[in-house]
Amino acid sequence: MMLRFPSSLRSFSVSASSSNGSPPVIGGSSGGVGPMILELPLEKIRRPLMRTRSNDQNKVKELMDSIRQIGLQVPIDVIEVDGAYYGFSGCHRYEAHQKLGLPTIRCKIRKGTKETLRHHLR
């Protein structure tokens, strides 16, 4: 199976492995039409709502401990619009990865449109 990515993503490594021992999910069960689960570099994920609220630092610390021990169990949700990735959920998991110095995070990626993006920004 060969995965194809936009040329802007060819400069980094993508992994479909799972740190919790379960098999990787790529393309969902609908033949590649549904969400994909991939590791994306943190710097490739835009967080447009990041400054609207602060994260609970106790929760971030608990997640850091858990991620160190057993890895990330639930991927963050990301919307891909025109080759750019936008994260609107998983704020605590994202910050835990940042603080741990991890370069990538497991994401459930769904394709979206500019209208989808506008809807999430309301």
Give how far Cα 9 sits from Cα of 4, 79, 114, Å.
10, 15, 20
Per-residue pLDDT at 28 exceeds 50: no
Amino acid in the structure at residue 59:
K
Q: Which helix (H) or strand (E) holds 108?
A: strand 104-111
Per-residue pLDDT at 108 exceeds 90: yes
How far apart are alpha carbons 91 and 47 in whole angstroms?
9
Is 92 assigned to a binding site?
A: yes
pLDDT band at residue 50, thresholds of 50, 70 and 90? low
Is 71 assigned to a binding site?
A: no
Per-residue pLDDT at 25 exceeds 60: no
What does pLDDT average to over the chain? Answer: 79
Is 28 assigned to a binding site?
A: no
Per-residue pLDDT at 24 exceeds 60: no
- State residue 54's pLDDT score: 86
How far apart are alpha carbons 93 and 106 in whole angstroms?
10
Q: Around 58, how many Cα atoms within 13 Å sit in the side-chain half-sphere?
A: 0
Strand partners, 37: 108
Q: Smallest Cα–Cα separation from 43: which of 93, 76, 84?
A: 84
* H-helix segments, the chain: 57-70, 91-100, 114-121
Average pLDDT over residues 16-39: 56
> Parallel, antiparallel, or unpaired: how do β-strands 36-41 and 104-111 relate?
antiparallel
Is 122 assigned to a binding site?
A: no
- 19/119: higher pLDDT: 119
